[in-house]
Amino acid sequence: MSRNSSHNSSRHNAPAAGSGQEVRAAAARALVPVITDQGSLAALDEFSVVARDRSLLKALCFGTCRSLPRLEALASLLLKQPLKRRDSDVQALLLLGIYQLLYLRIPAHAAVGETAGAARLLGKSWATRVLNGCLRRLQRESEALQEEVDQDPNVALEHPAWLLDALRHAWPQQWREIAQANNQPGPMTLRVNRRHLDREAYIEMLTENGFSGTLCPHAPDGITLHTPCDVSALPGFAQGHVSVQDEAAQLSANLLGPALAPRPGARVLDACCAPGGKTAHLLEQFDSALTAIDSDNTRLARVEDTLERLGLKAQLIHADATQNDWWDATPFDAILLDAPCSGTGVIRRHPDIKRLRRKEDIRSLAKLQAELLDSLWPMLRPGGTLLYATCSVLPQENCDQINAFLERTPDAAVTTPEDVAWGQASGSGRQLFPVEGSHDGFFYARLEKRPA
């Protein structure tokens, strides 16, 4: 048996990084899969750094991902010749160094010195000189170099060209604001568990504990913190009083309210439930018999953890919602389809989406969403409600998707509310864009099955 305490930390394989150089080396290693198009930042948790450096590690990695196209453009100006692929860790250090100099309030001498020094920890001492040279030149010629790269709007707005084109095409009025909002970190928004207390009571608890927040204007259980913090520091987090969830994501419970509130014990399906935020919110708010399925077993286990912490119960099934082999043939009163999507509404929270997502993905995601709609619709009872949700801002996944579904599904009627203060009408649904200091980008469409 072993204990989870400080004295067994020596048995961890990765040495704990402490100094500034070690954090930067860890950040470079975490970024390599992203900049070589081989993976995501998801593995960040596996890097062993001491607790006080963890927030710096996260800030460095997320920030560098968020501004990647611009940092890469600057890097190629600074390097006399491109680095070899096997030196992508050195490239990552250079990007990190540029990011620190231009975007973070880290003293320049530390940003340059610690970053260049980190090359030694990667076993590439030769790169120290290269990095020092490039970063010092950036310090000297910062304005001219930035001006040069910003002539390209894709670089200035820090988005891949295909995505900026798609946004410009879909939202000729708002595309620039959407892109700018994607480049700012999203706020930390909480959802108060109304089975325990209401948000007015909780905001008092927050104030007593030295936090400050504002009640969300649209989500009735939401509080947006003025400064993000570690969840474990939140009063009552372990006891299930509160969860972290964006305001736009909290609206799914509002939208299902008319279908569920008057109908205790209603049979509800959450068709792609992981990681379980919306699942939990529905259970906090309504006394439903909820079935939650997901095709990813690992992510389903996280749903189980979340429900356990919040003291909620649902039937969890590891199943693929495009199939019906798991279904007991009893129709559902309501279905939430929070469909797999491009995530283009939550780029500010997952900046690696900019790099990982490809133009071709949109078509295959739209195809999957259509399959999910077609597969789930027969499971809804006549008179029942299906809520379609995505965290995308692309019409192919949203209004176009629902329009096509309505065309091929004669018994589907639109019941999306029009008299709400959030988002804008978009086809048969409502589109929210990411807003600085406020909610993420989301799309909702509410459909009712006409009685036969």
Partner 1 sequence: MAKLPILEFPDERLRTKAIAVETVDDDVRRLVDDMLETMYDANGIGLAATQVDIHRRVIVMDVSDDRSSPRVFINPVYTPLGEEREPLQEGCLSIPEYYADVSRALKVHVTALDRHGEPFELEADGLLAHCIQHEHDHLEGVLFVDYLSPLKRDRIMKKMQKRHKQLQDA
Minimum distance from residue 302 beta carbon to partner 1 (Å): 8
Cβ closest to partner 1, residue 1 vs residue 421: 1
Amino acid of residue 258: P
Distance (Å, rounded) from C-alpha 26 to C-alpha 55?
A: 13
Q: Which pairing describes strands 412-414 and 429-432: parallel, antiparallel, or unpaired?
A: unpaired
Residue whose entry in the numeric block shows the structure tokens 């014990």: 265
Q: Scan residues 10-29 and list those touching partner 1 (CB under 8 A).
A: 10-13
Q: DSSP class of residue 448? A: E
Interface size with partner 1, residues (CB under 8 A): 17
Compute the least distance from the CB of residue 40 to partner 1, in Å: 15
Task: State the nearest-atom distance from the C-beta of 343 to partner 1, in Å.
Answer: 23
Q: Is 148 among the residues that bind partner 1 (CB under 8 A)?
A: no
151 scored as a contact of partner 1 (CB under 8 A) = no
Site for partner 1 (CB under 8 A): which residue of 167, 300, 362, 447? 300
Q: Least distance to partner 1 from the beta carbon of 11, Å?
A: 5
Contacts of 142 (CB under 8 A, 6+ apart): 101, 102
Min dist. Cβ of residue 123 to partner 1 (A):
14
CA count, 13 A, side-chain hemisphere, 387 = 30
Catalytically annotated residues: 391
Residues whose CB is less than 8 angstroms from the CB of residue 280 and which lie 6 or more positions away in sequence, other chains included: 243, 306, 307, 310, 312
Return the range that interacts with partner 1 (CB under 8 A); candidates 209-217, 260-268, 295-303, 390-398: 295-303
Window contacting partner 1 (CB under 8 A); options: 69-77, 238-246, 248-256, 292-300: 292-300
- In the block, tokens 């084109």 appear at 165
Only one residue has tokens 């990765």, namely: 14
Measured from the Cβ of residue 72, the count of other Cβ atoms closer than 10 Å reads 19
**Strand 380-390 relative to strand 442-449: parallel, antiparallel, unpaired?**
antiparallel
Figure out which of the listed residues 290, 316, 319, 353 binds partner 1, where binding follows CB under 8 A: 316
> In terms of CB distance, is 312 or 347 closer to partner 1?
312
CB of 257 to partner 1, least distance (A): 30
Kindly state whether residue 3 participates in binding partner 1, applying the rule CB under 8 A. yes
Q: Is 232 in the site for partner 1 (CB under 8 A)?
A: no
From CA 255, how far away is CA 424, in angstroms rounded? 15
Binding part of the chain for partner 1, among 2-10, 52-60, 275-283, 413-421 by CB under 8 A, reads 2-10
Of 151, 173, 298, 330, the one binding partner 1 by CB under 8 A:
298
Q: How far is CA 410 from CA 405, 414, 433, in A?
A: 9, 11, 30
Least Å distance, CB 4 to partner 1, is 4
Residue with tokens 């309210």: 257
Decide: is 138 part of the binding site for partner 1 (CB under 8 A): no
Q: Which of 210, 297, 419, 451 binds partner 1 (CB under 8 A)?
A: 297
Q: Does 310 bind partner 1 (CB under 8 A)?
A: no
Q: Tell me whether residue 12 or residue 80 sits nearer to partner 1 (CB atom).
A: 12
Pick out the residues of the known binding site: 272-278, 294, 320, 338
- Spatial separation of the C-alpha atoms in residues 358 and 185, rounded to whole Å: 22
- 303 vs 275: CA distance, rounded Å: 5
Residue with tokens 């259509």: 370
Nearest residue (CB) to partner 1, 303 versus 389: 303
Torsion, Cα 350 352 353 355, to 10 degrees, reads 170
Q: Which residues contact 294 (CB under 8 A, 6 or more apart)?
A: 272, 273, 274, 300, 303, 318, 319
Binding site feature residues for S-adenosyl-L-methionine: 272-278, 294, 320, 338
- Does 4 bind partner 1 (CB under 8 A)? Our answer is yes
CB nearer to partner 1: pick between 151 and 232:
232
User: Of 254, 247, 288, whose CA–CA distance to 270 is shortest?
Assistant: 288
Binding residues (CB under 8 A) for partner 1: these are 1-4, 7-8, 10-13, 297-298, 300-301, 304, 316, 318
